Amino acid sequence: MNVLVVGGAGYIGSHCVRQLILAGHKPVVLDNLVFGHRGALAPSIHLYEHNLGDEAAVTRILRDEKIEAVMHFAAYAYVGESVNDPLKYYFNNVVATLHLLHAMLAVGVNKFIFSSTCATYGIPTQMPIVETMPQAPINPYGQTKLDIENALKSISRAKGLSFATFRYFNAAGAAEDGSIGEAHDPETHLIPLAIDAATGKRPPLQIFGIDYPTPDGTCLRDYVHVDDLSRAHIAVFDKLNQPGTGLFYNLGTGRPTSVYEVIRAVEKATGRKVPYTTAPRRAGDPPALFADSSKAVKELGWTIKFPDIDAIVATAWAWHSSRPEGYR
């Protein structure tokens, strides 16, 4: 299929572009390169540098490239920033996405795959999380993702759009050959910060909270490999042929992993100690978040190639050790 990957030069988007090519599809990328990197894409990939809310540009691309499906990864995703600057998040994550959808409907492209997040569940009362649990986000970032999920339901009913929404848990790792990987600026994620602490590139890691009601006192998260995530986006294509289809899937391994366990995995992969200090809890961090992804496994035949944290961190280390400066 001809697929427009919006945000395809970003972390998850660029891994998905590679998986699309491996599966025999033809991706083209729309990315304004605010957070994306040209270097995350093979030179042969056609990159359009526009904002996703630029309807005239998007309409032209959809027509010229004979696009059949759109994957949308382009969002602002810093929780703390979303609390301090909610308008930025509503304009980009909601308003611009509505423009993208408007352009798609105008041209008759009616398959849409959307990056959502476990942050739409807020602080769930039960673990693991299943898709049918109530969604009550506790920050504007999660709210903007839920707003689009809800908009998609209405648009699908009214206009026959077929869509799949994937609620990611903690995307992690890198391409197995170390050629592309995670390069955020600023970086706030645990695994890259722990790796950089081990190599001395950054100061010691701060562990945000050691007094949580968990076995070792640190937060539990569900780290899922970025290539495993990407493959689910392609496996869903066959389900989108019936107009008006609306699908929702959690994507996680289902394994809760603590901050200390991540540190041990980084020490194993790098062969170095991770220096750390303990710090107060970070605002808005639930003690535990992990997925029941059996729906994706059952309905999409989704398989998890990297089920445990050691395997995931080994790929992250392959990337960070071969490209310590990222895409610079």
Structure tokens at 314: 């080994």
**Angle at 181 (CA atoms; ends 54, 190), nearest 5 degrees:** 100
Site for ligand UDP in 211-250 (CB under 6 A): 219, 221
Q: Does 5 bind ligand UDP (CB under 6 A)?
A: no
Environment class of residue 177 by beta-carbon count within 10 Å: exposed (0-12), middle (13-18) or buried (19+)? Answer: exposed
CA dihedral (153, 156, 159, 161) positive or negative: positive
Backbone φ, ψ for residue 168 (5° rounding): -75, 145
Instruction: Between 32 and 258, name the residue whose CB sits nearer to ligand UDP.
Output: 258
Query: Which of the residues 76, 121, 141, 212 is marked catalytic?
Result: 141
Query: Out of 81, 285, 308, 310, which residue is the one contacting ligand UDP (CB under 6 A)?
Result: 285
Provide, rounded to whole angstroms, the least separation between the CB of residue 310 and ligand UDP: 17
Provide, rounded to whole angstroms, the least separation between the CB of residue 191 and ligand UDP: 7
**What is the C-alpha to C-alpha distance for residues 278 and 177, in angstroms, rounded to an integer?**
34
Q: Does 259 bind ligand UDP (CB under 6 A)?
A: yes
Instruction: Between 79 and 94, name the residue whose CB sits nearer to ligand UDP.
Output: 79
- What are the strands, taking DSSP E only, across 84-139? 111-117
Q: Does 282 bind ligand UDP (CB under 6 A)?
A: yes
Q: Does 188 bind ligand UDP (CB under 6 A)?
A: yes
Q: Which residues of 231-266 are buried (b: 16+ CB within 10 A; e: fewer)?
A: bbbbbbbeebeeeebbbbbbbbbbbbbbbbbbbbbb
Residue listed under structure tokens 């050790």: 321
Q: Does 120 bind ligand UDP (CB under 6 A)?
A: no
Q: Does 193 bind ligand UDP (CB under 6 A)?
A: yes
- 3-state SS class at 280: coil
Sole window of 21-29, 186-194, 235-243, 319-327 interacting with ligand UDP (rule: CB under 6 A): 186-194
Q: Does 60 bind ligand UDP (CB under 6 A)?
A: no
To the query of whether residue 11 is one of the catalytic residues in this protein, the response is no
Q: Does 198 bind ligand UDP (CB under 6 A)?
A: no
Provide, rounded to whole angstroms, the least separation between the CB of residue 163 and ligand UDP: 24
Provide, rounded to whole angstroms, the least separation between the CB of residue 119 and ligand UDP: 7
**Angle at 187 (CA atoms; ends 186, 191), nearest 5 degrees:** 180
Q: Does 320 bind ligand UDP (CB under 6 A)?
A: no
Residues in the site for ligand UDP, rule: CB under 6 A? 170, 188-190, 193, 205-208, 219, 221, 259, 282, 285
Q: Mind telling me the catalytic residues?
A: 141
